[in-house]
Structure 1
Amino acid sequence: MTHRPASPASIGRPEVIAQAHARSLEIGLRASETPDFHPLRRVALRELVERNQSLYIHALPVMETLHAQIVDTQSMVLLTDSHGVILHSLGDSDFVEKANRVALCPGVSWAEADRGTNAIGTTLVDGQPTVVHAGEHFLHANRILTCSCAPIADPFGRTIGALDVSGDTRGFHKHTLALVRMSAQMIENHLFSNQFADAIRVHFHARAEFIGTLFEGLAAFAPDGTFLSANRSALFQFGQPLEQLQKQPFDALFGIAFARLLQQITRAPGESITLTLQSGVRVVARGEYAAPRYVAPAEDLAGFAPRQTGPASTRPSTRSAEAPPAPPATLDTLDTGDAQVATILRRVAKLRGRDIPMLVLGKTGTGKEWLARAIHHDSPRRAAPFVALNCASLPDTLIEAELFGYEDGAFTGAKKRGSVGKIVQADSGTLFLDEIGDMPLAQQVRLMRVLQERTVVPLGGTRAIPVDLRIICATHRNLREMIEAGTFREDLYYRINGLVVTLPPLRERTDLAALVTRILAMQSDGERLPTRVSDEVLERFERCRWPGNLRQLANVLRTASIMAEGAEQIEVEDLPDDFLQDCMGVDAAAAPAAASSNQDEDCAGRPVASAQKNTSARMEDWQTTLIAQTLARLDGNVSAAARELGLARNTVYRYLRRAAPAH
């Protein structure tokens, strides 16, 4: 579609352009000047890129995605440092020659002092996203351009660069600046997650469907609850500047004690909690605490995963804490000795080479995706893609475009050449639809049609694309009950449940010791981390109810491994304190129940001798031992011990008073 150039007055903020022109005149620039054609030498440019390495690495995959949005529009994407020097560019071949005529290339400064009023230089001075269109440029030579630019800030709010789209004035589109702003925010979020990889991060938003998207708020805290920083969205939701937030404790910002958040992360990792901001606004939040362990492809500007046309982009993932460790490769490696799981694996193995749909049931964190990946790896489709989509992680309006794809012009802001959906991406391979019970009814109808006809029609398209894939679905919901309630289609249910298997919760498995060993081995990944746990730790694990299942076990082991500080095995004092309290609480709850039934049981339901009589003493002994060992290791530093244990200092002091000999 051809867009008529908008008049300068209708583009942006006239006062900003006027002020920029005034600065250009004060500097002594002349509008008729010829652009400088002397970029930095190759060695100097390489050194500049190295000095801006973090910005460069995290921006590249986002630039590629942004370029895919605007391809064939006679334009280019540019990244600059904080002084306006271009570090990298991606452009349409038919526009690069025109860009070179005005020195729009790597190694050239587009600061206002060098180029007068222009989107890059003016954005860096003004600190706000800016459009400079045609005649709004100060230099006559640059008036062939329309440029949309947004600043990029580091995790502490300091401007470190700018992202710009420059193109032929005839191809200008008013939505371009919105795409650039979203891309800059995406880069900032990647930088934020990388900077605070080892911090405790809170993802939050007033609307649950925005958690895990570009628009979520991100706030980082030290292990003792000290506020570290927040991203743009978080600052907007808090309604306060960064310097004010840094003076406030966690409970003042979110309305609950920091220890409660830590307890939530360990007890039910990946699950949401409702918090209340100082403004009184209630937000849905999710905490995470784990260093990124893998790289992931960049998300595109609508929040979708892009089509993969080459190697995965190298940027740290922002969601590593939600995911369990990388799944084992085969069905054989999933067999760690539990009879229930072994039966499931034998049933699944009988379907090797047969494209019978599967439905995997089980509670959150039981390893449904692990199983799906192993099934794919053991099938004749192993060389083709394994494509996963969590139907609960996207708002209803995005699932359709994500799953089925869309054509050019299907909606405002869509890619110039459209987008290939997950179904087409999985052609010849396996499509894994996690939390299928959360798929909206309208998309259930479309998915049913794809399964029947083995073709998919993208949004806005008319041509049916043939697909050959195997489908594996998973859910923790009761689909039969949903069918009765009218929220899940019965015809789709019978299309996806060729073989139904139910993964047992962790507390019902008999292979806990083998799972611990396997997870520790996967998590070490070349680091000097413990490869086993002590007998006492394993005994505690066996008593735990594990509401978060394998995901919770993996998180507990990861945290404990770091706390063990290079030791050969994990000891009780290395375990997160809130996890220990959870186990104690289960023991305490089990005691009255055992007394009322005249049968003594531990928290896993196994008979023991007089459990109700010694639960309190055992709880006190555990806490006493843990505090004593931590104080000894920290040379009696109460504040440090309290921070490490996640306890109030008064709790540690009470222990010291009890432990002191009577006079």
Structure 2
Amino acid sequence: MHNITDSAVPPARKYFVDSLMVERSWERSQSYGLSHRDRLNAPVVASRAQIIESNRLLLTCATPEMEQLHASLSRKDWVLVCLDLQGVVLNSLGSRSSDNQELNQVFRVGAQISEQNVGTTAPSCALTERDSVLFVGGEHYLEEARDFCCFATPIFGPDGAIVGVLDASSKHRAPLINARESLLLTASAIENRMFSQLSDLLLVHLHLRMDILGTPLEGLMGFDQAGKLRCANRAAGQLLQLSEVPVGLDFAELFDMPFAHAACYRRHDLSAPLRLRTHHGGELHACITLGPVLKTERALRQEPLPAPIAKPPLLPQAAPYLQDPALQSALARARQAFARDIPVLINGETGTGKEVFARLLHEGSSRAGEAFVAINCSSIPASLIESELFGHVEGAFTGSRKGGAIGKVEQAHQGTLFLDEIGDMPMELQGRLLRVLQERSFTRLGSSQVIHVDCALICATHRDLKQLSASHGFREDLYYRINGLRVTLPALRERQDLVELIQHLLRAESATRQPLTLSDAALQALLNYRWPGNVRQLYQTLRLAVVLAEDGGEIGLEHLSEDVLEIIEKVADSASMTDSAPQAAHTLQAAKLLAIKTAVAASGGNLSAAARSLGIGRATLYRKLKGLEEN
């Protein structure tokens, strides 16, 4: 490499902080034998047919976003260009004005804009540095390019690798700040479009703010049917506080929810947001959509689609929920009523799976292709629930969203509206909901425009609405309007498929680990427990057991939660009046001792962490350790 002389040193940076980047590019340009006085010579190295054949997906996703950006910019000032990994121009958008004539000539389709050909430019440097680059005037290596300013940013594919570069160039020193921000958003939008073309994947859309979902700023992750991560964009890694999101990671290793449950939320759009708790303790707004079959190549070649191939259902895990005869009967009756647009009211204790049941109703109906919109009436402040249900116009109240917002009822048009914990809906809102259900129309807050809606209704509650309405805690007329068919989900302790459900949840939780089995004693303990928290509590108990027993291959009594062990203790105390007392007491004592020792060892001697893993307080752990030592 030639040494850079003083006359060849790039000028001091005024617009970009990384002066080393331009210096490195100048060094490379000089090493290629280029002179500052050389002409801007970008040879055409590929035909349009070759470009389409080699870069079909990138072109398909980049073109509409580029057209939208070009329409928003001053067209006479900017030329937009998309290049592939070799610097070959795939698409170029610029006006035919005399001002853009030189740029149009340089950025003609098929031309190669590489540092070997044109020296230091934003697109050629961005390809080499794999980073966003801004060059203005004299920062270009060739004197002929110093009349221009250009900003380029890489485009990354779903696998995290760079697939091309997006560039905006101008001869007029046009305002850079807006163009830079717009170009970065457009690159993100192109990347997200490539995600949307992925076939047979569940796409998880993430962000801290719900209104960012569906925009270029959202995080995106793709999971296969086994719940394994296949791809993630940069925003997802930032939201999950991971410098790199490893491919192959299990869904349950990232989020505090079984993949089987998450798959129940899949939609064809972003109409059903939920909250996902990450394993670092944060909560994110999320939507889960099903990626379409990749059609891009066939569309470009105008080839007919082949006959659809029968595939196994995405959610084979649904069957274990239906093994109980009472559940099977309830679902069959509910489906009959739901098919005739009769409202369904689901009763059941907390944690019995009321929303899962509602989703099964929706997915098995003629509305399955439309939105399933869920709202928990007990988790939204009374002052906001009317806005959440019916939406609002801009300025309807202090803090209202700019431009207004549509409500859940409107989102559920032609789909299903699920009102969970409806027994906790404020009394003043019940009357308006009744009118909407009767008239099938409503108005947004602050508006007089009538909006007509067609949606099926499912409600759920753990409360006795008939008794509540008798005591004037719930409107009697609304109760009779939503109580078309009432089904009661059995508590977990009443279900006849408990063994199958335990095995199902255990398989789902240990999918990425060595398969675990339950000892006879541990299984019996789970069957004997009354499960006041129902399926939700069972799942958490099994999660703890899998973690504590992952090195042993079998879940024993010592790996179960304190709540379950306390029931065993009561059984042992009852057995103390029988001949089996010594054996029962000895088994229980050994199990408790092993559980505590395992938890303390797993936490490295940290008693606070051990207590948390056992689901007990630190003081309780001290007391039990002392009792075990005395015995």
Provide the TM-score with structure 2 as the length reference.
0.50
The structure number with the bigger radius of gyration is 2
Normalised by the length of structure 1, the TM-score is 0.48
Q: Quick one: higher RCO (CA 8 Å, sep 6+), 1 or 2?
A: 1
